A and B are shown apart, each in its own frame.
With several copies, the nearest count.
Chain A
Amino acid sequence: MSVPPATHDVSVNPPLLDASGLSKTFGIIEVLKDISLTVRAGEVHAIIGENGAGKSTLMKILAGNHSPTRGEMKIDGQPVSFSGPVDAENHGIVLVHQEILLAPDLTVAQNIYLGREIGKGIAVDDRAMNEGAAKAIRDLGADIDPNAIVSRLSIAQRQLVQIARVLLVPHRIVIFDEPTASLTPHETEALLKVIQDIRAKGVGVLYISHRLPEVKEIADRVTVLRDGRLVASHETSELQPADMARLMVGRDVAKLYPDRHAMEAREPVLQVAGFDVPGYARDASFTLNKGEILGFAGLIGAGRTELMEGLVGLRPAKGSVTFRGRAVNFTDVHSSLKAGVAYLSEDRKGKGLLLTKDLRTNLTLASLGKFIRGLQIDRKREADALDKAIQDFDIRTGTKNILAGQLSGGNQQKLLLAKMMMLDPQVVIIDEPTRGIDIGNKEQIYKFIAALAQEGRSIIVVSSEMPELIGICDRIHVMREGRIVGEVTGEHMNENEIVQLATGVKSGVGEAA
């Protein structure tokens, strides 16, 4: 990638923030244990760790969202304790949250200036704010209408708005909690440039990401958390991504992508022809074979999500769909699930899991029919199913009696996977399977996907991460502006080919292959 590595030595710069002995307990669970950490001016300090390692919790403490159970923080050598996020902001510490925190009914500009509106007399100066917002977004290399209502934006766009909002606050330390999880390479690159710019101004940056090459590229220093403990902290130059992965997971992650057996006969399971999702996708045609993993690549807004949602009956759509030799028309999810086609949403929190309910309720929600004995739900069997799912999918949690929303992101994804697999579907459509997921978990999820294919199920993976598509898929369809513009297979399966198709530089190549 194009961002140059840091050339100057920042380790001699004065520390802006000095945290020592930070611990945090929720109820009886100790999430952070004795963490000490320094952020220097002009330094990009990456924090990596598995899902649930406590990265976000640590960042929330530094930004005043949580108060630590133990430990202390110093800014410029002066001890501080924050009464809340606004207090931290006044000290110059700002946080880009992992979750999207925007008011859905307000416009982009209104959100960006929320709580610090520009005034003109007693009125607000919307013109000035629109201009400011447009500039802030342009600075991120994006193009979003400042007058657009946030609820109408895609997740990626919201993420950019959120970053723009935070960067407008006067800051000395900026914390990014997985800012790139839902961004495409293009946008990621623009963001990394912005980070280089702000660090050049002497701002300290704390950076969390599961994308280790990105970390290698941008960070001066890498700190690794595991199970709430700080296990290592090194100059980035001393580490390769593979070392980082090892430190995170505590074992070697030599091979991220599982081996795939070559497919024998091509037996079509799902045939889609001339499929339209009005407003999002036009004239989509493709075939999914038994035991195959089919990838869908494309830029954000290419309409992949909508195409899949249309296919399973979540959106109004029309076209011909043949499933296992029979023409089907899924008008609602119930019918597609029953037929054996399951869709896992990219929006885990909003559409995948009931965050305020426990794991058991979530696990069996889509497949309650299997747990009915007589008139009622057999809770014993539900509990057994949960035990089994925790085992099979390696869902890591201190206790089984927590709410789904209290699981870390990766574990939520595994729970969602487990929930849908309870239905024993023949076709599984997974949208962004590893968004925001650590490398260890990724490896496991890829293994599950491969195993599913091995069992003879057919998988569609929609992803914005090209390496993962290339790593696990047999074939990849590329979408652009609502259309399937090409297919890549075999030796054509490389990033260059996909990017060219996705951006329209090249069209139709490999379709015959």
Chain B
Amino acid sequence: MSAATTEIAKAPKTSKDWDMAAIAPFVALALLLVLGYFANPNFVSVANLTNVITRSAFIAIVALGATYVISSGGLDLSVGAMVAFVASLMILFMNTGAVADPMLMLLTAMLVALVLGAACGLANGLITTVGKIEPFIATLGMMGIYRGLTTWLSQGGSITVRDRELQQLYRPVYFGDVFGMPIPIIVIFVTAAIAAFVLYRTRYGRHVIAVGSNEEVARYSGISVKKVRTIAYVIQGLCVAVAVIIYVPRLGSTSATTGILWELQAITAVVVGGTALRGGVGRVWGTLCGAFILEIVGNIMLLSNFVSEYLIGAIQGAIIIIAMLVQRTLMRK
């Protein structure tokens, strides 16, 4: 109880502070865009920006799910491995040729991916809530399991869509566009809009925030903490499945190394976007912004030719820290 009583001291003094926290990632993004322009004028070309946003789709969508898990007070380190696992099973399913019609096969495969994603999320959720294991460790263990199973499924190699026709039919889901807008970008924004609606406007979303900010209060208010958290993990699983659905057509294949470190990137996107790791706050649009920032940092580095390729990792790390410092400074004002 004493933890709760003192929390107030840390709470923002006015609503203004919260607004700054919400705006900060967007300011950081804007600064980065300017920086990018100076690094290489090609950077601001429509083609390049579309590329960058398109490929941020995977991390962005996974991070949307992570926003739920984190703001409900959980954490999921298994998402990268889950991407590999779900994608592998999806391709294996496509390779079975269980459904003759290619179009129907594609839709069935997508459904299979969604169901698998939800199931993986459910498993994670139950282990942390019913099993009462710290999410960090529980999902680290699940990461090992998903990745191990993927290695086993691929027998150490890679898993590739065998049917060329199917692959061609599927390609546009990543490479195609609608009125010039690449499909992955549309998927990002549609997913984000749904995520924002559910988190901000529905009863479940309110419960997520309540559970994340004080579990006991939520419980005493008749909210099933376990159910809310478990569902957050299921949502994370569904987001992973959506990411898989647009990932598979891009490379048409997976291996045991697919999605490695994506969990850390997703969490970074969430935090850079202004969601606190301790739970109780969720910023859907901030998360999107965070994912874009991460991808853009890499892009600028590649486009500019100043940085030794050995140092890219170092500069990336430094930029994230600087971005967070900028955010903190803005918030303190």
Q: Report the minimal beta-carbon distance from B104 to chain A, rounded to whole angstroms.
A: 30
B217 CB contacts on chain A under 8 angstroms: 101-103, 111, 114, 350-354, 365
Is there contact, CB below 8 Å, between B209 and A101?
no
**Complex Cα distance A149/B11, Å?**
10
> Is B201's beta carbon under 8 Å from chain A?
yes
Residue of B nearest to A120 (CB): B201
Is there contact, CB below 8 Å, between B18 and A338?
no
Stretch at the interface among B108-116, B220-228, B284-292: B220-228
Is there contact, CB below 8 Å, between B1 and A349?
yes
**Complex Cα distance A377/B208, Å?**
14
Q: Report the minimal beta-carbon distance from A305 to chain B, rounded to whole angstroms.
A: 12
Is there contact, CB below 8 Å, between A104 and B203?
no
User: Of residues 100 to 134 in B, which have CB atoms within 8 Å of A's CB atoms?
Assistant: none
Is there contact, CB below 8 Å, between A86 and B222?
yes
Is there contact, CB below 8 Å, between A347 and B1?
yes
* Contact of A148 (CB < 8 Å), options: B2, B14, B206, B221: B14
B4 CB contacts on chain A under 8 angstroms: 142-144, 157, 301, 349-350, 355
A504 CB contacts on chain B under 8 angstroms: 1
* Contact of A104 (CB < 8 Å), options: B2, B220, B222: B2
Is there contact, CB below 8 Å, between A369 and B203?
yes
* Contact of A145 (CB < 8 Å), options: B8, B13, B214: B8
We find that the number of chain B residues with CB closer than 8 angstroms to chain A is 36
Chain A, residues 79-112, CB within 8 Å of chain B (1/0): the string is 0000001100100000001011111111000110
Is there contact, CB below 8 Å, between A300 and B7?
yes
Residue of B nearest to A122 (CB): B202
B222 CB contacts on chain A under 8 angstroms: 85-86, 89, 115-116, 332-334, 336-338, 366
B49 CB contacts on chain A under 8 angstroms: none
Is there contact, CB below 8 Å, between A333 and B206?
no
Is there contact, CB below 8 Å, between B280 and A142?
no
Is there contact, CB below 8 Å, between A99 and B5?
yes
Is there contact, CB below 8 Å, between B201 and A377?
yes
**Complex Cα distance A129/B221, Å?**
16
**Complex Cα distance A102/B14, Å?**
18
Interface band, chain A: 35 or more
Chain A, residues 433-448, CB within 8 Å of chain B (1/0): the string is 0000000000000000
Stretch at the interface among A317-325, A398-406, A468-476: A398-406
Is there contact, CB below 8 Å, between A356 and B13?
no
**Complex Cα distance A403/B5, Å?**
13
Is there contact, CB below 8 Å, between A145 and B11?
yes
B201 CB contacts on chain A under 8 angstroms: 123-124, 375-377
Is there contact, CB below 8 Å, between A114 and B14?
no
B7 CB contacts on chain A under 8 angstroms: 144, 154, 157, 300-301, 355-356, 405
> Is A147's beta carbon under 8 Å from chain B?
yes
Q: Which of A104, A114, A337: most chain B CB closer than 10 A?
A: A114
Residue of A nearest to B219 (CB): A333
Is there contact, CB below 8 Å, between A351 and B216?
yes
Given contacts A116-B222, A186-B2, A481-B6, A104 and B202 within 8 Å (CB-CB): no
Q: Report the minimal beta-carbon distance from A186 to chain B, rounded to whole angstroms.
A: 6
User: Of residues 461 to 513 in A, which have CB atoms within 8 Å of B's CB atoms?
Assistant: 480-481, 503-504
* Contact of A147 (CB < 8 Å), options: B3, B6, B10, B15: B15
Sample (8) of A-B pairs whose CB atoms are under 8 Å apart: A102-B217, A144-B7, A154-B7, A279-B10, A334-B223, A350-B216, A356-B11, A375-B201
A85-B220, A104-B214, A377-B201 given; 4 more Cβ-contact pairs under 8 Å = A101-B217, A334-B222, A361-B209, A376-B202
